[in-house]
């Protein structure tokens, strides 16, 4: 008997034994559930379960409550909706009070799912209180001088949360006092320039540590105990920095998403690049430039110094260029990494080795959000389309395995820019500009040639099991009928 069939048989026997142990009471239900939820067999059975339809514009945020039975969503239509996701019905819908696109909406813990905090493109941070009568009271808690893409709730707190904005400011909010405190202004050490922020996360194992990231290559971790200040432009020194070695010093690096695992690993999604996983010991300390100087003084070049740095796990194949995308974990012990993509797919990787396991069609344009259920093996996704998709094991849509061949997931040469508002506001906002829009004619010719080559090679391979490919941008597709190739829909989402 060959080694391969024997190994496969052992895997099957192992699964049967676990079921047998559970039925006999020898394996606790929680242990069985965790092992099932972490199983790759389960992962490959995930398909589309429901579509939630009521929003009238892009859905930029989805989040489950602690019990997992309610999903809250926010959209460019400025509406907040609470869903019974399993039955695809609306429990409550209300106007958030925001005047522009909602980027984040979350339940506050231990609030009986009656308190929701939101942030938006208008710079406002608001909270909404659902009364016993079913009416909703909304209130503005504070405002940033720029868009607010993400907020982070202090683990286990029904009152405390944090926001970061494109004004480079990190704020702390306390619902008991309804007062916003300016914790810090994020600056880079070399030239003392502010860093416009897109993402924020709190370490679940050590809630005093707050990670923020935005318009440069570094994720900065702060100890919030040293950041209490009412002054607007107070600089607090980070306690740690994280970056892939090859991106240190890059002028075009930008970060769109952050997430902490239950093991305090830091997951970072780079625009126009890949996703990286850092363990806590991979940090470069409070001042990475000083460590570079030390290495240079020791007669090592900067390049040699980078080679000695620990290399984070990388997750490839997706495309993150057009919008501010989140990133997250899936599985009871964060066994998998999940992200949306510009190609309209939802990607799932094995965390420990970066292998791409699934790439599922989830949007005709761009997938921005993939949110994992708090204790069940299911996910919600949203993007440029107006619906929300729920993904569960045994879902109705069957999807194949991802392409094994190397794919071109990063192309073009996009850059981040900031400029002042035309209305004369004295604060800078950050925008993402694609160089291929500037030099469109030259790249159209090269794209056509490469596309023809790819089609010919795919026909020669003839692999019918491969159904995943990264679509190239094509401005000729015009879904909204305005002659711009649907581009406005993506740019408006921001």
Q: Span 209-219, mean pLDDT?
A: 96
The closest of 342, 336, 350 to 378, measured between CA atoms, is 336
Q: Which of 75-79, 134-138, 201-205, 456-460 has the lowest mean pLDDT?
A: 456-460
pLDDT, position 272: 93
Q: Decide which of 393, 415, 434 is a domain's last residue.
A: 393
pLDDT surpasses 70 at 398: no
* Residue 149 belongs to a domain: yes
- The residue with tokens 């008991």 is 176
Domain shared by 216 and 284, yes or no = yes
Mean pLDDT of all residues belonging to the chain: 78
Element (H, E) at 490: helix 487-493
Instruction: Please tell me the total number of residues recorded for the chain in this structure.
Output: 494
Domain shared by 109 and 220, yes or no = yes
Domain shared by 230 and 308, yes or no = yes
Domain shared by 222 and 300, yes or no = yes
Q: Decide which of 393, 427, 443 is a domain's last residue.
A: 393
The CATH number covering residue 305 comes to 2.130.10.10
pLDDT surpasses 70 at 248: yes
Confidence grade of residue 395 (pLDDT, cut at 50, 70, 90):
confident
Element (H, E) at 140: strand 136-143
* Residue 494 belongs to a domain: no
Domain shared by 302 and 279, yes or no = yes
* Residue 438 belongs to a domain: no
Report percent pLDDT > 70 for the chain: 68
pLDDT surpasses 80 at 435: no
Which tokens belong to 246? 């090859």
CA distances from 179 to 143, 173, 175 (A): 11, 6, 7
* Residue 405 belongs to a domain: no
The closest of 98, 125, 127 to 114, measured between CA atoms, is 127
Q: Specify whether the CB–CB gap between 199 and 164 falls below 8 A.
A: yes
pLDDT surpasses 60 at 452: no
Q: Which of 110-124, 143-157, 465-479 has the lowest mean pLDDT?
A: 465-479
* Nearest-angstrom CA–CA distance, 331 and 109: 21
Which tokens belong to 99? 């005047």
Summarize pLDDT for 160-188 with one digit per residue, the tens: 999 999 999 999 999 999 889 999 999 88
* Nearest-angstrom CA–CA distance, 199 and 204: 16
Q: Which of 14-23, 34-43, 56-65, 416-425 has the lowest mean pLDDT?
A: 416-425
More confident residue, 439 or 19: 19
Domain shared by 26 and 158, yes or no = no
* Residue 129 belongs to a domain: yes
* Residue 13 belongs to a domain: yes
* Residue 466 belongs to a domain: no
Q: Specify whether the CB–CB gap between 328 and 338 falls below 8 A.
A: yes
Q: How many domains does the chain have?
A: 2
More confident residue, 425 or 43: 43
Domain shared by 206 and 125, yes or no = yes
Q: Decide which of 370, 393, 416 is a domain's last residue.
A: 393
- The residue with tokens 């790819």 is 454
Domain shared by 52 and 8, yes or no = no
Which tokens belong to 440? 């469109």
* Nearest-angstrom CA–CA distance, 482 and 285: 50
- The residue with tokens 């991979």 is 282
The pTM of this model reads 0.75
Domain shared by 51 and 21, yes or no = no
Summarize pLDDT for 74-133 with one digit per residue, the tens: 999 999 999 999 999 999 999 999 999 999 999 999 999 999 999 999 999 999 999 999
Element (H, E) at 8: helix 3-23
Domain shared by 89 and 21, yes or no = no
Strand runs labelled E in 290-443 = 313-315, 327-330, 336-339, 345-350, 356-361, 367-372, 379-383, 387-393, 415-420, 428-433
Summarize pLDDT for 267-316 with one digit per residue, the tens: 999 999 999 999 999 999 988 876 544 444 444 555 665 666 789 999 99
The β-bridge partners of 209 are 223
Domain shared by 65 and 17, yes or no = no
The domain of 372 spans 44-393
Domain shared by 29 and 58, yes or no = no
* Nearest-angstrom CA–CA distance, 437 and 255: 21
* Nearest-angstrom CA–CA distance, 181 and 164: 12
* Nearest-angstrom CA–CA distance, 416 and 426: 19
* Residue 172 belongs to a domain: yes
pLDDT, position 27: 60
């Amino acid at each position: 008997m060959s080694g391969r069939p024997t190994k496969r048989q052992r895997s099957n026997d192992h699964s049967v034994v676990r079921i047998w142990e559970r039925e006999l009471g020898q394996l606790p239900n929680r242990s069985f559930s965790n092992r099932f939820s972490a199983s790759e067999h389960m992962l490959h059975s995930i398909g589309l379960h429901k579509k939630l339809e009521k929003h009238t514009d892009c859905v930029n945020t989805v989040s489950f409550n602690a019990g997992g039975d309610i999903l809250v969503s926010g959209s460019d239509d400025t509406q907040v909706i609470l869903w019974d996701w399993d039955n695809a019905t609306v429990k409550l819908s209300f106007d958030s009070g925001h005047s522009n696109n909602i980027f984040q909406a979350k339940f506050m813990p231990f609030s009986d799912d009656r308190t929701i905090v939101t942030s938006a493109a208008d710079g406002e941070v608001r909270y909404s209180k659902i009364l016993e009568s079913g009416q909703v009271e909304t209130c503005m808690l504070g405002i940033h001088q720029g868009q607010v893409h993400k907020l982070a709730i202090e683990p286990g707190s029904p009152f405390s949360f944090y926001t970061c904005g494109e004004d480079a400011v990190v704020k702390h909010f306390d619902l008991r006092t309804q007062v916003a405190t300016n914790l810090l202004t994020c600056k880079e050490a070399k030239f003392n320039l502010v860093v416009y922020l897109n993402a924020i996360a709190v370490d679940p194992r050590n809630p005093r540590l707050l990670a923020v990231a935005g318009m440069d290559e570094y994720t900065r971790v702060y100890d919030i105990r040293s950041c209490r200040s009412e002054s607007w432009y107070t600089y607090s020194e980070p306690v740690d920095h994280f970056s892939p070695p090859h991106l240190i010093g890059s002028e075009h690096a930008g970060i769109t998403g952050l997430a902490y695992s239950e093991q305090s690993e830091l997951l970072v999604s780079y625009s126009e690049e890949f996703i990286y996983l850092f363990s806590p010991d991979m940090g470069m300390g409070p001042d990475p430039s000083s460590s570079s100087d030390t290495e240079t003084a020791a007669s090592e070049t900067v390049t040699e110094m980078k080679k000695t740095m620990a290399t984070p796990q990388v997750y490839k194949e997706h495309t993150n260029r057009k919008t501010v995308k989140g990133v997250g974990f899936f599985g009871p012990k964060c066994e998998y990494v999940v992200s949306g993509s510009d190609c309209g797919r939802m990607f799932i990787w094995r965390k420990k080795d970066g292998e791409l396991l699934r790439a599922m069609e989830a949007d005709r344009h761009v997938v921005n959000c993939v949110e994992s259920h708090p204790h069940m093996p299911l996910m919600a996704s949203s993007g440029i389309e107006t619906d929300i998709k729920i993904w569960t094991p045994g879902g109705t849509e069957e999807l194949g395995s991802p392409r094994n061949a190397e794919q071109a997931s990063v192309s073009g040469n996009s850059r981040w820019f900031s400029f002042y508002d035309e209305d004369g506001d004295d604060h800078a906002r950050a925008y993402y500009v694609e160089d291929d829009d500037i030099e469109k004619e030259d790249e159209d010719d090269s794209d056509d040639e490469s596309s023809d080559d790819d089609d010919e090679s795919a026909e020669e391979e003839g692999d019918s099991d491969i159904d995943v490919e990264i679509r190239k941008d094509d401005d000729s597709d015009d879904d909204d009928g305005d002659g711009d190739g649907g581009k406005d829909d993506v740019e408006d989402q921001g």
